[in-house]
A and B are shown apart, each in its own frame.
Chain A
Amino acid sequence: MTGHTTGKESESTAFLYPFIESEETDATSLLDDLAASARAKATESARLQRESLDEYAPPLTAAGIQMAERFLRGGRLYTLGNGGSSTDAATLASLFSRPARGRPVAAWSLAADEAVVTALGNDVGFELIFKRQIIAHARDRDVAIALSTSGNSEDLMTAITEAKQRGLLTIGFSGHDGGRMAAAEDLDFCFTVHSQSIHRIQESHAMLGYRLWSVTQEHMARPLSGAHA
């Protein structure tokens, strides 16, 4: 939800309405088209998730292991995002802090508290709503994950820079061509989902986040004396 698309998304559904039908009365054909469109989009969603998991398998494992090591030292996770990505950030934080199975760890979304977000937005500017919270909360053993379908959100970039300076592990989920996130030296890991559709990018972000959580859980379940291999 951090930007807009106009081109590919509208083209992909254009075949459904070659002309405006104001006199249509039978919905059967439309319902068939809608169902076919849903299956096509779902297939693309699954393909993109698979491709993203495959492309980033080694760094996802590395990032998950580093997160686990930080959680075992008492670290906590902050997730950041705007709009729909803020809700995905909150879902990701809940996955870590309130998983249906496995070991919960401290995690929360920095967009979750409207008193804090509006106080900072009103007093110091919207681009600082996350950075100022990082300054207040962060310890060097913590982790920050920023989600942006464009990779360009200013409020996320300033927070990531601050987090890196404070010794946090910094992870970015981006989309399209990766935007500023793809080139940011302050990100330890950047996972760019190569798609032009904000919806499909968000669905892949969720799956990548789930993989990070899985790796983290697996690593935290190992005996401390054991080797990582």
Chain B
Amino acid sequence: MTTTAQLGGSYIGADLSADLAAAALDMARRFHDGATLWVISPQWEPHAHHVAVEFVHPVIMGKRALPSVALVEPDPVAQARVASQPGDLLIAVASADQPAVVDAMRRAQAWGVLTLWIGSGPRPPAGAANHILWIDTDDPMVPATGTFVLMYHLLWELTHVCFEHPGLLRPPADESTDEVCVTCSDEGRLAEVLLEPADATGQALVRTANGEEWVDTTILGEVHANDLVLVHAGAAITRLEVSS
């Protein structure tokens, strides 16, 4: 008996369609503010290329061409790190255990990049990306059946619908007030080390979602470029271990 794959559309129920809608609105807002969309898919590079060409050269005449680039070099984390700027978007099409994607999704928070993760199989942990768009199935063949293609087609289609609602492309008021309060809250902000301290004062240059800043790293001892640290009140207070 020939193997029959479940039809991609049958996976798009109430939950996943709501997830796609929320993701599309976030994407439209970021594009509206000048974002570039970066795309990685270390296991299935053609998916990264398909997403990029979808946004750059729309199949429907008259739709805006939007900046999007597939990052398919052997080290997509290094590529995304240097390419991305605060306010950008990053889509990964990958399984939950793909090491480079796990790493990139986490670092994106320090880069100020909004993340979307499309995949199937076991789910990434909640919060691993801003939007987790997932097919819950144990069928390993799903990536080759058009189901992911359907998902990013839908993302593209819904994102362009959002552009017809300019009043909703501004971020909600409550999100703006969140940002103002970060420095006086007890939360640490995720940062990635750009330049190691050059002397005993322990001042390192890091990047956070807000841009670059010098922070005191004396609490941590030795720090290296690309280390992930938590920054609070001008000091790096914790180093995050990177699984890879």
Q: Which residues of A contact B (CB under 8 A)?
A: 1, 3-6, 9-10, 13, 16-17, 20-25, 27, 30-39, 41-47, 49-50, 61, 83-84, 86-88, 90-92, 94-95, 99-101, 109, 198-199, 202-207, 209-211, 213-215, 217-218
Query: CA of A90 to CA of B20 in the docked complex: distance in angstroms?
Result: 25
B 45-68 to A, binary, CB cutoff 8 A, 1 in contact else 0: 111011001100101111000000
Closest CB in chain B relative to A59 CB, distance in Å: 14
Complex contact B161–A16 (CB within 8 A) = yes
Quick check: is B225 within 8 A (CB to CB) of the other chain? Answer: no
One of A6, A21, A49, A88 near B46 (C-beta < 8 A) = A88
Asked if residues B12 and A49 are in contact (CB atoms below 8 Å), the reply is: no
Residues of B within 8 A of A43 (CB): 9, 12
Interface size class of B (residues with CB under 8 A): 35 or more
Between A and B, 14 residue pairs with Cβ closer than 8 Å are A9-B60, A17-B161, A17-B165, A27-B168, A32-B21, A34-B161, A39-B17, A42-B9, A45-B9, A49-B7, A92-B144, A198-B59, A202-B153, A207-B146
Closest residue on chain A to residue B29 by CB atoms: A27
Q: Is the CB of B153 within 8 A of A203?
A: yes
Q: Which B residues are CB-close (under 8 A) to A209? A: 144
Q: Are A207 and B145 in contact (CB under 8 A)?
A: yes
Measured between C-beta atoms, what is the minimum distance from B162 to chain A in Å?
A: 7
Check A41–B154 contact: CB distance below 8 A.
yes
Contact check, A10 vs B8: say whether CB atoms are below 8 A apart: no
Among B10, B50, B158, B161, the residue within 8 A (CB) of A84 is B50
B47 neighbours in A (Cβ, 8 Å): 87, 91
Q: B161 to nearest A CB, angstroms?
A: 5
A203–B8 touching, CB < 8 Å = yes
Contact residues in A for B25 (Cβ distance below 8 Å): 27, 30-31, 34
- A210 touching B44, Cβ below 8 Å: no
Contact across chains for A36 and B17 when beta carbons are under 8 A apart: yes
Interface centre among A31, A50, A90 (most CB of B within 10 A): A31
In the complex the two chains form, is A31's CB within 8 Å of B21's CB? yes
Binding site of A, secondary structure by majority: helix, strand, loop or mixed?
helix
> What number of A-B contacts does a CB cutoff of 8 Å give?
194
Chain A residue numbers with a CB within 8 Å of B46 are 87-88, 90-91, 94, 109
In the complex, what residue of chain B is closest to A96 when comparing beta carbons? B144
B18 to chain A, nearest CB (A): 5
A214 CB contacts on chain B under 8 angstroms: 2-5
Q: Are B168 and A210 in contact (CB under 8 A)?
A: no
A13, A30, A207: the one within 8 Å of B165 (CB): A30
Closest-by-CB residue of A relative to B19 is A35
Convert B212-244 into 0s and 1s, putting 1 for each residue whose CB lies closer than 8 angstroms to a CB of A: 000000000000000000000000000000000
Report Cα–Cα, A87/B93, bound state, in Å. 14
Closest Cβ neighbor of B145 among chain A residues: A210
- CB of B162 within 8 A of CB of A30, answer yes
**How many Å from the CB of B86 to the closest CB on chain A?**
23
Q: How far is the CB of A93 from chain B (nearest CB, A)?
A: 9
Assuming A21-B167, A31-B22, what are 18 further A-B pairs, CB within 8 angstroms?
A1-B53, A4-B60, A10-B60, A17-B164, A21-B168, A34-B17, A37-B158, A41-B9, A45-B8, A45-B150, A61-B2, A87-B47, A87-B50, A94-B46, A199-B157, A203-B8, A203-B153, A209-B144
